Chains A and B, each alone.
Chain A
Amino acid sequence: MATLNILILVCLGYVVLLFGVAFAADRLAARGGGKWLRSPLIYTLSLSIYCTAWTFYGAVGNAARSGLEFVTIYLGPTLVMISWWWGLRKLVRIGRSQRVTSIADLISSRYGKSNTLAVCVTILAVLGGTPYIALQLQSITLSFSIFAEADPTGLYREGSSVFWVAAGLAVFAILFGTRNLDANERHHGVVTAIALESVVKLFALLAVGIFVVWGIAGGLGPMMDQIDASEIGQWHVDAGRWTTFIFLSAAAFVCLPRMFQVMVVENDDESHLRTAAWAFPLYLLLMSLFVVPIAVVGLDLMPEGSNPDLFVLTVPLSQGNDWLAMLSFIGGFSSATSMVIVTAMALSTMVSNHVVMPIWLNTQEGTASVSGDVRTIVLMARRVSIAVIMALGYFYYRLSGGGAALASIGLVAFAGISQIVPALVGGLFWRGATRTGALVGLSVGFLLWIYTLLLPGMEGGIIPASVIENGPFGWGWLRPQALFGIDGIDPMVHTVMWSLSLNTIAFCVASMLSFPSPLERLQGAQFVNVFDHSAAPRGWTGSVAQSEDLMIMTQRILGTNPAQEFFQAEAERQNGRPGRLPEPTPQFLERLERELSGSVGAATAHAMIGQIVGGASVSVEDLLAVADESAQMLEYSSQLEAKSAELSRTARQLREANAKLTQVSMQKDAFLSQVSHELRTPMTSIRAFSEIMRDTDGLSEAEQTRYAAIIHDEALRLTRLLDDLLDLSVLESGQVSLNMGDASLNEVLDRAVSSALAGGDRKLSVRRVRASERIPLHTDLDRLGQVFINLISNAQKYCDAAEPVLTISAHDVGGQVVIDFTDNGGGIPPEAQSMVFEKFARVGSDKAGGAGLGLAICREIMQRLGGDVAYLPGQGGAAFRVNLPLAYRQAAQ
């Protein structure tokens, strides 16, 4: 007699083994090893969490009650698996390419990443999942209690054992399910552990089955006879339930959070489906192979009224085969634990991603969202979610009292979760499906499910019996189990039929009436055509393309006339009739795409045509390409902008240069004209007087002398002019060679003052502050002296004061010598100030000076010396400021 203590020990040992396996697998995967961890076999075995304790124990119970009906629960998934090529393959591909983390995430992602939808699906999943977890806990307790009954010595308390089981499972799920965050990192530990559990439960069930057939019934033939002779020995199946359950189990197989978790999220390799497509149906077949024999033998052997749900356990026990019972118990335990762990993990992912995180992020708005921060928050949210979900399951179990009501909860959960099917299938295969459609459909199905199945099925009368019998407010057509007066259907079939059909209708109608957002359309394209951008040959299938749309788009891009011309030419090419729109043949579409890509870039063109034609999808790569292209175009346009700015700058410079040239040319003309004038004027005097002296007889001595003097003066004036011109031309051409020397400023000024005053005949007193003039210079001293002389003699010539005084002051200002020549005269009138440095510029009518080249020469010289000379306005008299760098450096040429 296996004692309860041994059972508990075995149980604990098994749990430790699971922990060990999970831990080892995680370690192995982390080190990159363990290729077998990612094998199709492990994948297939992990899928078998579909077979929960409900099926492990309940299938036999079901068979004992209604014959072969139980098999529908396995046939549905079989059909799903063998249609993997166009069903699951797509789902898995999308799941991987979109990095989907859960069924809620998938639905949300498909419909424009709508969190509302995700929350709906999550609520649905939790609502269906919690009782389901409770069911597993119940099966474990029930099986414990079987052993407890058989072992009167043991101290067994149901409540505490359930608590510890729930807590232990929560710890396991937290430890191995929330170790890492990225949904793409797969939970190798958990998956490997549940694969092991799958083997154990299959082995246990097969062992019991073989024991029953060959150990009790005495072989296959007698077994068959016994079956036919039993109370369920005749074919009896309700057609509605049969088809409904096949459909329901197929739907649930895809939609159940835990199934989605192992099938899509944990999928390592799409090609695993190829193996699982036959291996998993085989697993299911084996699981159900001995169900009927066990049920029949159990019905035969066990006393009237014993629970057929526990035949798997009680039949071996009644035969004294304790170890087989123990194995069977472990099998049931495996079924329950693996389901609970994966469900908790999957639900926690959904709850944390779609409920907790959005709320947390909302409350955190404005504060720094550091990524590391969020990581820990997410992990914490998942852990807490797991704990909460386990607690919910536990409390649900405690509150429901573990009664028979739980037995039907599996199918109720199936019916609930299958409300996702229209949104899911529509999302995968119909691009027209919209978020609104999904929301409306889901809501309709969800509410109908609650109203017609969940609430009426609950014990304790949440819906009063009167409502069930007469409908709310006495409206008979709203009776929960006989909607619209259609009575007499099995409640489950009733619910599934109404909820799913109305769900689907609402989904389709709302989808067609609403308009999807761009993101939704994009996601829709990506989902529906997930295979196209990886494998499909390039090119457009124009079957759905609408030439009109293409035309409108093309007009927008190319402009009306070019677009019409293009389309007309195309129509002509196609059928010789230019008046009609061309058919959207693939060739035409390709040509159009090339045409458009010239304007908007290749990727954009492809995406645009893709949107209209609908034949191909817009993938992430497309979008990236569009983004790239936009970036390139942006860069290109900014380059263009820069270029055009450069061009306009160049043009401006050219205009300026041209204006300058014109000006220079005009200046040159004016200069030549001026030079001519300046030369001719003294020549005229010279010629006139020389002719007078030659031709006139009887000139007095005084006259002769005077005229000769005039000739002489004018000749000198000519010479000076020529000197100046030469000087200026040398200076301007830049060919002047500077004769650098070192001297103090006061020396240069001394020389300049004395030579200027010596040459002139007007009186000028010069005031200087000699102390400030002791500034060492390194420059062309002669040239500098020339400037000084010019300035001093200008003052001498033009200062109109009665007592002309010239003040020369020098300062050292930050590496520059500044020398001001200020006289006490009337100064230069403001309108002439800008002119004084121009060639031949003379102020007033005074002809005393030279040709008006002096200041021009001064300025040239100072610029050669790296300094400048400028007129200082507002100094009382005429004031010139000479700037000179202390250390001469080559002036910018």
Chain B
Amino acid sequence: MSSPGDGKGRPAPVRPSLFLERQSYRRRRLADAARLLPFLGAAMLALPLLWPDESEAAEALPLSSAMFYIFACWGVLILISVVFGIAARRMAAREDAEPEAEPWQR
């Protein structure tokens, strides 16, 4: 199982560096954001459950407002997704440009 650059003999044990380089740091934060997105969406879509209902309150929320809110949320989620998609594409392009040595692809 040769690690990259294991030209002769055994490689010195690789100490994982404490600080990631800027790009991979960015990539990780982006991935974090992507993971959080559905929770944001779920929270936004759970909000209507708190709205006054026609059965319990005299002043129920008009449907048009509800529609507006929900479609706005929807749009926001889509927009964030677009941004994330573009960012991910850039990342992927950069990764392709400097391919990582993959230990399993011999």
Contact = CB atoms under 8 A, between A and B. Distances in A.
Contacts of B84: 85, 277
Contacts of A79: 38, 41-42, 45
A41 B64 CA distance: 32
A281 B78 contact: yes
A593 to B, nearest CB: 7
A605 B54 CA distance: 66
Interface string A211-250: 0000000000000110110101111110100110010000
Report, as a range, how many residues of chain B touch the other chain.
35 or more
B1 A593 contact: yes
B67 A586 contact: no
Contacts of A246: 42, 45
B103 interface: yes
A533 interface: yes
A535 B1 contact: no
Contact of B53 (A68, A235, A537, A603): A235
Interface string B55-70: 1000011111111001
B7 interface: no
A810 B46 CA distance: 117
A235 B16 contact: no
Interface in A280-304: 281-282, 285, 289, 292
B80 A82 contact: yes
A857 B1 CA distance: 68
Contacts of B82: 278
B14 interface: yes
Contacts of A342: none
B90 to A, nearest CB: 11
A83 interface: yes
A71 B70 contact: yes
B74 A75 contact: yes
A85 B92 CA distance: 13
A224 B35 CA distance: 36
Given A281-B78, A534-B104, A271 B1 contact: no
A375 to B, nearest CB: 32
Nearest to A85: B34
B78 A278 contact: yes
A68 B104 contact: no
A602 interface: yes
B104 A234 contact: no
Most chain A C-beta atoms within 10 Å of own C-beta, residue among B49, B85, B89, B100: B85
A619 interface: yes
Contacts of A243: 46, 49
A151 interface: no
Interface string A552-568: 00000000000000000
A712 to B, nearest CB: 86
A277 B85 contact: yes
Contact of A68 (B14, B34, B66, B92): B66
Contacts of A71: 70
Contacts of B38: 79-80, 82-83, 87
B95 to A, nearest CB: 9
B1 A82 contact: no
A680 interface: no
14 contacts: A75-B45, A228-B62, A235-B61, A235-B65, A236-B53, A281-B81, A285-B71, A289-B71, A535-B100, A539-B14, A586-B14, A591-B13, A602-B1, A621-B105
Given A285-B78, A587-B13, 20 more contacts: A68-B67, A81-B81, A82-B77, A225-B64, A228-B62, A234-B63, A235-B53, A235-B63, A235-B65, A236-B55, A237-B53, A281-B74, A281-B78, A282-B78, A285-B71, A285-B75, A535-B102, A586-B14, A594-B10, A605-B1
Closest 3 CB pairs of A and B: A83-B38, A85-B34, A278-B81
